[in-house]
Amino acid sequence: MRHSRLDDANCVTGVERKFAEQEAEIVNPTKVKEWKRFATEIRLAAMRAFGALGFGHVGGTMSVVDLLAVLYGGVMSIDPKNPRWEDRDWLVMSKGHAGPALYAALALKGYFPAEELLTLNQAKTHFPSHCDRNLTPGVDMTTGSLGQGMSTAIGVALGNRLDGRQSYTYLILGDGECDEGQVWEGALFASHRNLSNLIAFVDYNKQQLDGYTKDICDLGNLAAKFAAFEWFVQDTDGGDVGQIYAAIQKSKSQRKRPSMIVLNTEKGKGCKFAEHQLYNHHMTFTKEQVDEAIAVLEAELKGGVGK
């Protein structure tokens, strides 16, 4: 029987998933606690911003928080006092509607006062519903038109490599976004150029704007697809900060290919009224709902999450 590349991709994915689980067990427990607490703080800051507005992209914001807690909790090389530092690591939030999670992480890292988040998506704000590098300190790339972040992240990674910089470019894609052909054109180009300084993630929460991804345009084995494009692929729990960190470190240990980490996540995680809801991409909510969601997160912090 002919042994296909796709068969190899499936086998590799299983091995890499097992590695991430094992490595997560030996990650510094103090750091794990810090990341868990930071994730709750990000969710709380984002929910307060949503609460001041009364609507927003809650589901996809909440599902990327654990990843952002790890990246901005020590993985990325950044300088909040100098957001445009040329040797920094870059983050491209291609699923730009998750901007509120990024804004919250940046505020907590000291890029700007957290109180400013309460102007989210309002007139003259520095925090639009989708990321804009010309408005928000710390945002590296303007995004929102789905698929385009793949191309811009590749451009950043290639440009920094040509300039001799040792920085990494981190890219966050949505799973519904992977319906876009531009994602796969980029996957081909990044592999051809051996962009090992590009580490991408798919927020695989299995839902998109108007339903489940499997019903709208089934992605099948997403990890195997990227492996077939010659990416270094891992498949891990996107809600486990230890596994996320282990997968990133594993990606950095190889210097031949771009990396894709498929994060199995839960859309709306950490927001009481958004969890386990099908249509939670963009939501309106009552003051009572958001107050309850905020109270739950505040109780987690007081209860010692991450301690």
Residues sharing a CB contact under 8 Å with residue 13, sequence separation 6 or more, in sequence order: 221, 223, 224, 227, 233, 234, 235
3-class secondary-structure state, position 66 = helix
Q: Phi then psi for 286, rounded to 5 degrees?
A: -90, 165
Determine contact, residues 293/49, Cβ cutoff 8 Å. no
Residues in the chain: 307
Place of tokens 């912090």: 301
The tens digit of pLDDT for each residue in 22-62 reads 555 578 899 999 999 999 999 999 999 998 888 888 889 99
Instruction: List the chain domain ranges.
Output: 5-302
More confident residue, 221 or 209: 221
CA angle 152/153/155 to nearest 5° reads 65
CATH H-level superfamily of 5-302 = Thiamin diphosphate (ThDP)-binding fold, Pyr/PP domains (3.40.50.970)
Place of tokens 């040509």: 162
Residue with tokens 């299995």: 206
State the amino acid at position 76 in one-letter form: M
Predicted confidence (pLDDT) at residue 214 exceeds the cutoff of 70:
yes
pLDDT at 126 over 90: yes
Structural tokens at position 77 = 């090389």
pLDDT tens column, 87-119: 999 999 999 899 999 999 999 999 999 999 999
pLDDT on residue 306: 59
**Cα–Cα distance, 190 to 211 (Å, whole number):** 30
Regarding pTM above 0.85, the answer is yes
Looking at residue 19, its pLDDT comes to: 53
Give the number of other Cβ atoms within 10 Å of residue 166's Cβ: 10
Per-residue pLDDT of 243-275, as tens digits, reads 999 999 999 999 899 999 999 999 989 888 788
Q: What is the pLDDT of residues 164-190, one digit of tens each?
A: 999 999 999 999 999 999 999 999 999
Residue of 191, 201, 208 whose CA lies nearest to 256? 191
Question: What is the C-alpha to C-alpha distance for residues 65 and 201, in angstroms, rounded to an integer?
Answer: 13
pLDDT confidence of residue 72: 98
